[in-house]
Structure 1
Amino acid sequence: MVSRGEDKYVIWPIYFDNSISRIQGRKVSKKYAVDKPTVESIIKAAKSLGLNPTLEKDRAFPSRHWRKEGRVLVDKKESKRKLLVKIANRL
């Protein structure tokens, strides 16, 4: 489990899903959102940005606990918002 003091951000695929509303959990604008993002595509994008990604496969977004889509942990190199947009640009 990642705690607040650690130097990692948690990135969920739902943050980039264009079929999800902001209220449901999407974090990037529709302009940057993609269709059915995967943890594998997020890892590839994060690696290309030098964010040292780590996959946690059997994790579920809290409001969708029945879907174990996984999550990605990345280094905190700048604000989470800026990192999400950079990752989204590479998806």
Structure 2
Amino acid sequence: MKDYEKQVIWLDYFNSSYSRSQGRRISRNRSIKNPILSDLLEAAKRLNLNPVSHEVIHPKRTLINSGYISITKKNKKTLVLQDIAKMLTIVKGETKKSSK
């Protein structure tokens, strides 16, 4: 049953290797290449969105592992996506630095 108090944020919304018709919802200059679910979860936690992660396969891409987070509704989805995209680039940069 659909929960109208939650928003679903797919990992594919932030993948710069996808076109808009393939599911990307953020502009290319704000999106990142091949984001991972743990980074998306961390970005949403830093924004206090109370995320819950789900590792599932996106309906459009049945051969590629993906996932989504569900968050409580606070704002319009486009505004939330922009905030998450900004934080996701910060989190991704920190993970790159720590892995070197």
Per the TM superposition, whether the score is higher than 0.5 is yes
Q: Does residue 27 of structure 1 match 2:6?
A: no
Quote the offset at 1:89 in angstroms.
0.2
Distance 1:43 1:14 in 2: 13
Measured against aligned partners, the alpha-carbon deviations of 1:22-66 in whole angstroms (never above 9, x if no partner) come to 000000011210011111111101001110000112x11110122
Structure richer in helix, relative to its length: 2
Decide which of 3, 6, 14 is 2:4's aligned counterpart.
6
Give the AA of the match of 2:58: F
Distance 2:11 2:53 in 1: 12
Q: Does residue 70 of structure 1 match 2:67?
A: yes
Distance 2:72 2:23 in 1: 21
Larger Rg: 2
Give the AA of the match of 2:66: E
CA contact (8 A) 2:12 2:66 kept: no
Following superposition of structure 1 onto structure 2, how do residues 33-44 of structure 1 map, counting pairs within 5 Å?
33-44=31-42
Unaligned runs of 5+ in 2: 89-100
Distance 1:19 1:67 in 2: 13
Figure out how many residues of one structure are paired with residues of the other and give that number: 88
RMSD of the alignment, in Å? 1.2
TM-score normalised to the size of structure 2?
0.82
**Match in the other structure for 2:84:** 87
Distance 1:8 1:65 in 2: 24
- What's the % identity of the aligned pairs? 36
Distance 1:27 1:84 in 2: 8
Moved over 4 A (4+): none
Unaligned runs of 5+ in 1: none
